[in-house]
Every structure is written in structure tokens, then in C-alpha cells.
Structure 1
């Protein structure tokens, strides 16, 4: 379900400009593997937060994806929600003190992943735009290409195994493993394994069973503490073998409240439950922020 203006305004008012102060103020719940409860602790300025070197913001953009990664003084954005989320995302990023994005990744050309990307490109200095080697005929996709042209940006098509640095962290490309066509855009999704010290995050856009099989056959180490559940928790993704290879402690589902697709599907939730994975969801928890110091991950949710 898409956010209405009143809800968006309410969420915007909760997010302040300083990255750390913003996190402290909006925190209402701290999640950890050992203690999963509402602590009602609004004083989070402890050593583990002060030395944190990476943050991953799973931004609540309703039935869509958008993930902000901050490491040292560098930032990257993976996907940018629906068309109507562009203004909200620009404001959110500016409230984090961001003026420049080292990377923008459009995992694939569906509207719920690139809808607000033209607004982002037009409002921030962007160094590199990564996209899969597929095209789309929608106006949304054309708007993104036009914004790139107006800002003298080209498309970087990443290859599996390539590594990119973001601050002291880095990410390796894990998908797609073969050329896809425009009739298979979900499985054309760029997948990355984000690494900060000993902490690992897997995020693969809307990659489905075919792409998951390709990743498994590639021999890439897919193990990670955090899995951004593919395709909003649909049963078209997250096969048993893929989930076992990741063996996550935490799963993040980016979906909208009461969405028409029924995401996340019961089958996917059951798999996660059976593995004892802690599940956080935008529709229930609002914006979700991971704090990684390279050894442990702490969580803050908006609600």
C-alpha cells in the first residue's frame, strides 16, 4: 500500500538531519539476537554506536525497495522506491547530511525500484550508476535515463565477482550471473554482498528462483548475517537451498502494509521461522536501521 501524504509528513518529521542524532531520536525499539523486546531506551549514545563504521537504512517506502548505506563519509543508495517516493527520499537523504552518493544501484527497471531515482539523481552529486544489462519501455525508466543524461552520467553494468569500496566497507556483485532479457526483469536484478569487517549483508532486489539457482551454482560464498528478502517476501524467491546457503540471523522484508500482492507470503515467513531467523518488516517496523561496527550488528526501528 502506498504511503499517503499525511503518513509521509509524519515520518519525515521524525527524521532529523544528523545521522547519529537522527538514529537516536527516532529509536523506539532496539533489536538484538539475545534480546528481542521494546526497551523504550532513547539514550543510545554508547561506545558501540559511537564507533560504528557502517549504517544500512532499509527505508520505509511502502510496497517498494530503497536501501541507504553509509560508511565513513561515503554513501550509496540501492533502489529508490516508487515514483511518488522521490520527494520523500530526497528529503530523507538530505536529513542524513548527504550531498553526494558514490554509488546508485538500480537493481532492475521496475517502477517500485527505480521510481524515485530520477529525483535522487537530479538532487545529489552521483559518481557511479550501476544497472543490469536490460532495458524497459516505461516512462519511469525513460525518466531515469533522461536524468542521467542531464547530469552527464553513464551506465555501469557490473559483472559478477567485481568488488567496489564504500568507505571502509565493500561490496561484491553476486548477480545476475548471465544475460537476461526484458521479459525476465526480476531475475535480472543486481545482487550484492555488502561486507563490513566480519558483518555480511545479502541484497538482491527482486531476484527469483532462477537467479538464486545461478548464484548457488556460481560457487560464491553467500553466507551472511543479514538477508534483505528478495521480491518483498514473495514465494517466487527465497528457495530452501538459497536460504540455507545464506543462513542468516536477520531477515529484512521491504513491503507495504496490506499490499495487494499479499507480501510477504506465508510460505516465505514459514521458512524463516523454521530457521529461527529474526524478521523485521517495513510494514510493521517502519524504517529499519542496522548499525555495524564490523563485529556485531545492532538494530533500530522507527516503530
Structure 2
């Protein structure tokens, strides 16, 4: 069975927070602005620790939510570019990083962290990158698991994109996050063509006063033929890939199929259907899910995932208490998490 990777773009308003999970490993890239932006979804998903946290740069809408994460969760490694900032949010982030047990790394282009079959590669900054703006040394990463790949950009702008392209490092990916929330300062034509994504995602707040995502960027995406998703229009976007095949689910619309334009709402447009419940958005069907998907459920490791598969079909989540080690308390945790379901 092909390995799978999930990429969840959390709806944190006008900010960035992306969770990548594969092979039982978890990577958080930015954390939104408010202290509970990232920690609440992590707790809801039952994620006990993080293998890697990437703080792309020092702006509050990217690192504010990482403060609680670093304070609350064991973090193996923290990637940050080393830039300093004068805000109280940055000072609190720095204190949390220093107080945590995370190994601190300032990655430069080509640095790779392997987590089972999941690979996280720094595309930016280069070792000689200079500039006076925090965006100039913003960390960009490519995450991949087998035939599945995504590029998460933070607030990289076109100068940084060109710098990456000049390096000839691999950038093609199935999923691309628009730089700087879809601003016209980012996602230039050359960059979009080089990544050549099937899906494009913008993280922004509906009605934000910046006008993100900007129209000219959306026009470039449309010409490129990629599916456009945005947290402002769709809420949290959960994407899962196995064997190079992607499935996307959104809070506002449920499943989205690549190439199905009727299933897609333009950013800023109201959803035609009412929002799905949390369980519907994150539903992992006990009767259909792969072992890798089942391991995203709290208290479910590889052995229990196989036990779930062996016990199919299931009529309800509560029946899991027949599996060794899953007593009523742990099954209660699974039900409270809201990821597992039986369709």
C-alpha cells in the first residue's frame, strides 16, 4: 500500500499555519498569530509531540501561535532563520524557544530533515541571502513523501522566488501555497511555472484590508490550470495524498476533486452549502482508511491500525474498545478528537 501524507492548512485568519503529517511524524510550519491558533487544532487531533517546527520569519501572524506550541508540546527540532525583531510577540517566541528542549537549527538551501519517508527540504534562504526586510530571508520548504509533494512558502516574495530558481534546486510540487497570503508581491509567473502545481492554496482572512489574495495572482493561477483553494473562502483545508493522488476536504464544501471547477468556490465567494461539522471535515473512516490515515487518530499506532483493519467492518467508533489497549477512556479520547468515523 502506498505511503500517505496529509497537509492541513489551518484557518487562522490573516496568518499562516500548516500541519504536515506522514509515517507517524508531524511537522508544523508557522502557527498563526493568536496563541491558540495552532495549539487548539493540535490538541483536537491528539498530537502529543512535533518532530519539526518551522518558523518562516519573525512576523506575528506566523510565529504568534508557535509560542503556545513550544510551551505546551515537546518539539524535537526548531527551524528559524535567525533574524531578530523588536515586537513583544517575537520576544515571547524567542523566550519560548529558549525554554523548550527543541534543537535549534538555522537551515539554508538544501538542508533536509528525513522523518521516515517524509522529507522536509529548505529551498530558501540561500547561505548568502542578504536583505533588510524580514521577507528576504523567509524560510521556504518543500515537503515530500514518495510521489506526493508540496511547497510551503510563508511570505516569500518574487526576489526570493527568483533566487531559488537560480539555484536549480528541485521545486516542482503538487501543491503550492501562495506566497504572502496571495499578495501581488509574490507568486510570479516564472515561479508558478517552475512549481507547476495541481492545487494552489492561499492562507488569508475573508475581507482582510490588504485585499489578499490579489486579482492578478488569481488570474495567473487560473491560466496555469491549478485548483484554487483559500482558507478565507473554505476554512481549514485538509489534503491527503497517497501514491501521487490527492484528495482535498474543506470546512465550507467537503470534498474537492482536482479538475472539478464546479466543486470550487472563488476566494471571497460565499459557500453554496452550510459548513461541515468538525467530524465531517476530519473524518477518517474506520472501514476505508489506510493504515497511515488511521495512525492520525489519537492512541492509534501501527499495531492498532492493523487491528482496526482486521476487525472491519465497524458499526460505530465506540466498538473500538474491543481492541487490546483501547479501554473506555481511550475510546472516549478518540470520540472527543472527532477524527474517526464510520460511514
Superposed pair shares fold, TM > 0.5: yes
Name 1:160's counterpart in structure 2: 109
Gaps of 5+ in 2: 253-343
Name 2:194's counterpart in structure 1: 245
- Aligned-pair CA distance for 1:153: 3.6
Are the equivalent residues in 2 in contact too, given 1:133–1:180 (CA < 8 A)?
A: no
Name 1:3's counterpart in structure 2: none
The structure having more radius of gyration, on CA atoms, is: 2
Query: 1:54, 1:199 → 2: CA distance?
Result: 7
Name 2:91's counterpart in structure 1: 142
1:12-34 CA-partner distances (Å, limit 9, x unpaired): xxxxxxxxxxxxxxxxxxxxxxx
Quick check: 1:95 aligned with 2:70? Answer: no
Name 1:68's counterpart in structure 2: 19
Name 2:31's counterpart in structure 1: 80
Structure-2 change in CA distance of 1:152 and 1:171 (3 Å): closer
- Aligned-pair CA distance for 1:178: 4.2
Of the three residues 289, 295, 299, the one matched with 2:238 is 289
Are the equivalent residues in 1 in contact too, given 2:175–2:200 (CA < 8 A)?
A: yes
Query: 2:240, 2:133 → 1: CA distance?
Result: 34
Q: TM-score, normalised by structure 2?
A: 0.71
- Aligned-pair CA distance for 1:179: 4.3
After superposing on structure 2, the runs of 4+ consecutive aligned residues of structure 1 that deviate more than 3 Å are 178-182
Deviates more, 1:60-69 or 1:288-297: 288-297
Bigger RCO of structures 1 and 2 (CA < 8 A, at least 6 apart): 1
Name 2:183's counterpart in structure 1: 234
Of the three residues 149, 174, 179, the one matched with 2:123 is 174
Are the equivalent residues in 1 in contact too, given 2:206–2:232 (CA < 8 A)?
A: yes
- Aligned-pair CA distance for 1:102: 0.5
- Aligned-pair CA distance for 1:247: 1.0
1:259 match: secondary structure: coil
Are the equivalent residues in 2 in contact too, given 1:176–1:190 (CA < 8 A)?
A: yes
Structure-2 change in CA distance of 1:196 and 1:153 (3 Å): closer
1:93 match: secondary structure: helix
Of the three residues 180, 191, 198, the one matched with 2:140 is 191
Are the equivalent residues in 1 in contact too, given 2:3–2:146 (CA < 8 A)?
A: no
Are the equivalent residues in 2 in contact too, given 1:135–1:182 (CA < 8 A)?
A: no
Q: Alignment length, in residue pairs?
A: 252
1:60-118 CA-partner distances (Å, limit 9, x unpaired): 00100000011121111000101x2x224212101111010000000000001001111
Quick check: 1:127 aligned with 2:64? Answer: no
- Aligned-pair CA distance for 1:151: 2.0
Are the equivalent residues in 2 in contact too, given 1:101–1:124 (CA < 8 A)?
A: yes
Query: 1:88, 1:158 → 2: CA distance?
Result: 25
- Aligned-pair CA distance for 1:294: 3.1
Query: 2:136, 2:6 → 1: CA distance?
Result: 27
Query: 2:185, 2:229 → 1: CA distance?
Result: 20
Quick check: 1:57 aligned with 2:8? Answer: yes
Are the equivalent residues in 2 in contact too, given 1:52–1:291 (CA < 8 A)?
A: no
Q: TM-score, normalised by structure 1?
A: 0.80
